[in-house]
Structure 1
C-alpha cells in the first residue's frame, strides 16, 4: 500500500490501497490500480444517528447482469448503496445498527440501510477529527460502541502503526491514541502489508490487531540498500493484543519485550487482514499466501502460537529454506506474479532456521475453495480426492470474515461463518474467488475443521462484511464501490 505496499495485485488490500495513497508499488493479489479520488458525495450530512434502526427487510428485485448471484433459492440480494471507489472496511454500530465504512485516507462514513430503496452515506468522522494516521486499513466497534481506527504513518523507509479510539461523549466522540508502534523498517515493495485488521474481544477488554509481513516469503528485503540482510522484524507478520483501557501505549520493535509485555499474541502470519470471533468465542483469522502457488489460510489464533510464516504455507514447507532448492525446477512458481518475475525465489543459504513448532491452519473439507497444486504442477481438487486441504485455494485472497455469533440464522447458516474472497490475480487454478463462502467450523480436540461452500458469486472485489440479524452486508471494493444486502435464512 504506499511507500510500503504495492498494488494489491494478489497481495491483499492492505497493499494496494497503500500504494495508491503513497504511490507504492504493486503486489500480488489485488491487481488493479484503484482510484482513491472519488469520495462520497454526501459529506455534509448530520452526525451519525444514535437511534435504533430495525433490521431491513429484503425485497427481491431483478438484479442487473453484472450483480452478485445467489447459488441458493433461500438467499436474496439487492444493492443498498453506491459508496464510491476505494472503501476498505465495513462494520456495524452495535447500538444503532448503522453501517460504518472506512476510506484509506482515514475518513469514516456511515449510512442507515433502507428496506425499500438505495441510500447514500455521509461523513461521520474525518481523519483530522479522528487524529489518525493517513493510511487507514482497520476499523472496529467494541461492545460499548467505542470505535477503533487503525492507521499507518510513513517516514522514509520506515512505518509505524497507530490505533485511535473514539469514546462516545455527548453527541460526538472523544478521540485518543490507544497504541502506536515504534518505527520499523519497511521493504518499500508491494509486500509491505502494514497494520490492518482489528477486532475487539467479546468482553470489551482487549483489542487484537494485525501487522502484516514486509516480505513475500521471508526473503531478504533491504529497501534499496537501507537495511542490509533484513527479512522480517519483530513488529511484522504477527497479531498483537493490547488492553482497551490503554492510553498512548508504545509497542517496541523488540520481540523479547513484546513477549514480556504480553503484547505478542500470535506470530508467523503473513497477512491476517481480517480477524473475527466465532460463536464459541474463539479468534479466527484469514491469512493470505505468497506469490507462489501455495494455499491461503484460515487459522484459529491462540496466544503464543506460531503459524509458520515464512517457513510454511498451509501444510507445505517453503522450499527456499532448504540448501538444495532450485527455483528453475519449482513447478509452483507462476510468471504472472511479481516475486517470480523479480526472482525473489532463489537458493538462499542464509535462510534462518524455524524458531518454534508450528500450528497448522484449519483443515478444509470442501466441497469448495479447496484447489491445490501438486509438486508435479497439476492442479487438483482436494475434496474430489477424498482428502482435506490445509487452508484455501491458492491466490483466492480471503479478506472479510464474519460469524453468526448470536446464532440468529437458521439451518446450516446458524452459528456459521461468512468469508469473502477478493479474487485471484493469477495462478493456474480455475477457482478464482470473487465470492462469498459459507464456512462451517467443527471443533475436534485442539483444532477446528471446516466445510467451505460457495453461496454467492459475481462480486468484483468483495472486501468486508457486517451481519445484522439475518442480513449480511457486503462491501465490494471493485468498480464504483457498493454495499450489497445478502438476505439469509
Structure 2
C-alpha cells in the first residue's frame, strides 16, 4: 500500500464523502463544505453551517444531507439535519456537551431511509449544573441514539439507543449498521458497536463510582470491540470497493485524539472479528471514506490534509 498527499484545506475537516460527480466533499468545523478532485484542487460548495459534523449524499440523487448545529451551547444546545439548497429537514436534536456531542455522522440505509448518530447531553447521564448537579438527569428522547429518518419529510424515530457519542455510522455489505462510540471521561475503553434495532447499547449505565445502574428489565448490549481509553474512534466506513485484495467488507476506523493509541487508521475484519493497525503517522485523522476507484481517503482534522491510500501490489 502507498499513502499519498492529495490536497489541503485551510480549516479543520470533520467529515468526508464522495459525490455522484466523483468529487470528494469535505465538511469543516469552520462551517463550509468544500469539493476536491483527485489532483487536490479544491472549491467551495456550500457554507453558513455551524460546526457541520456529518455529510452524506442520498443515493440516486445530488442531494447532500448535512448535520450541524443551530445553538452551539453546552446547556440547551440544538443540532439539526439539513439539505444543501433546501434548508432544515430535522430540528430540535440534542447538543452540545463539551462542544463535542451533537448530530453526527449520516448514512443512508438499504431501506432508503437516512440514519444519523446523535450524542448525549452529558458525560454519563448526569445533571450538569445547579443544586442537583451530578444526580441522574431525565434523558432527552432523541439523545445518545441512532435515529432513522424519512429523507423527504424528516419524520424521525429512534433506531437504537445507548450510544454516548456515536461520531460516525456505516452500513456494510450485509446490511448491518456499525457505529463508533466515544466513552465517558472517567476513562473506560472506547467502543465499536454492531447496532441492534431497538437495542440499548450502554449509555448512561456505566461501571463507575458516580454512574447509574440500568432499571429493571433493561438488557444492555455489549460492544463488539473495545479500544484504548481516550483514543477517540471517529470516522468509519465499510470497504465495498475492489482495489484492496481480500479486504471486501472490512471496516476502517480513524482514531482522532492526541492520546496514546490514536492518530491512526485501523482495519477491522468483516463482522468486527479482529483489529489491526492499517496506517499510522497522522496528526488527528477524523474521517475515512472509499473513492470510486477503491482507494481509501483519510481526512486529518489537525492539518487539513487529505490523504489517499492505494494498493500497489
User: What TM-score, normalized by structure 1, do the two folds share?
Assistant: 0.58
The residue aligned with 2:294 is 470
**Residues 106, 116 of structure 2: 8 Å contact kept:** yes
- In the TM superposition, 1:107-256 aligns within 5 A as 107-114=32-39, 119-127=40-48, 133-144=49-60, 145-154=62-71, 157-166=75-84, 174-181=85-92, 190=98, 193-203=101-111, 205-222=112-129, 230=137, 232-247=139-154, 249=155
Shift of 1:111: 1.1
For residues 175 and 240 of structure 1, the distance between their equivalents in structure 2, rounded to whole angstroms, comes to: 21
Matching of residue 266 in structure 1 with residue 160 in structure 2: yes
1:438/1:458 Cα in 2 relative to 1: closer, same or farther (>3 Å)? same
Shift of 1:305: 0.4
Name the structure where helix makes up a greater proportion of residues. 1
Cα distance per residue 1:253-274 (max 9 Å; x no partner): xxxxxxxxxx011101011000
**Residues 97, 120 of structure 2: 8 Å contact kept:** no
Shift of 1:191: 6.6
What SS does the aligned partner of 2:105 have?
Answer: strand
The residue aligned with 1:70 is none
Name the structure where strand makes up a greater proportion of residues. 2
For residues 359 and 141 of structure 1, the distance between their equivalents in structure 2, rounded to whole angstroms, comes to: 30
1:305/1:189 Cα in 2 relative to 1: closer, same or farther (>3 Å)? closer
Number of aligned residue pairs: give it. 309
For residues 459 and 269 of structure 1, the distance between their equivalents in structure 2, rounded to whole angstroms, comes to: 26
The residue aligned with 1:29 is none
What SS does the aligned partner of 1:266 have?
Answer: strand
For residues 72 and 182 of structure 2, the distance between their equivalents in structure 1, rounded to whole angstroms, comes to: 26
For residues 477 and 105 of structure 1, the distance between their equivalents in structure 2, rounded to whole angstroms, comes to: 11
5+ long unaligned stretches in structure 1: 1-74, 128-132, 167-173, 252-262, 323-350, 364-390, 426-430, 443-448
The residue aligned with 1:61 is none
What SS does the aligned partner of 1:412 have?
Answer: coil
For residues 171 and 130 of structure 2, the distance between their equivalents in structure 1, rounded to whole angstroms, comes to: 36
**Residues 11, 29 of structure 2: 8 Å contact kept:** no
What SS does the aligned partner of 2:210 have?
Answer: helix
For residues 227 and 467 of structure 1, the distance between their equivalents in structure 2, rounded to whole angstroms, comes to: 42
- In the TM superposition, 1:438-477 aligns within 5 A as 438-442=267-271, 449-468=272-291, 469-477=293-301
Cα distance per residue 1:236-283 (max 9 Å; x no partner): 111111111215x5x6xxxxxxxxxxx011101011000001111110
For residues 289 and 227 of structure 1, the distance between their equivalents in structure 2, rounded to whole angstroms, comes to: 18
For residues 400 and 418 of structure 1, the distance between their equivalents in structure 2, rounded to whole angstroms, comes to: 8
1:161/1:192 Cα in 2 relative to 1: closer, same or farther (>3 Å)? same
What SS does the aligned partner of 2:274 have?
Answer: strand
The residue aligned with 1:76 is 2
For residues 308 and 32 of structure 2, the distance between their equivalents in structure 1, rounded to whole angstroms, comes to: 23
User: What TM-score, normalized by structure 2, do the two folds share?
Assistant: 0.89
Shift of 1:467: 0.6
Larger radius of gyration: 1
Shift of 1:352: 6.4
Q: CA RMSD in A?
A: 2.6
Cα distance per residue 1:95-123 (max 9 Å; x no partner): 22100001224321101112xxxx33110
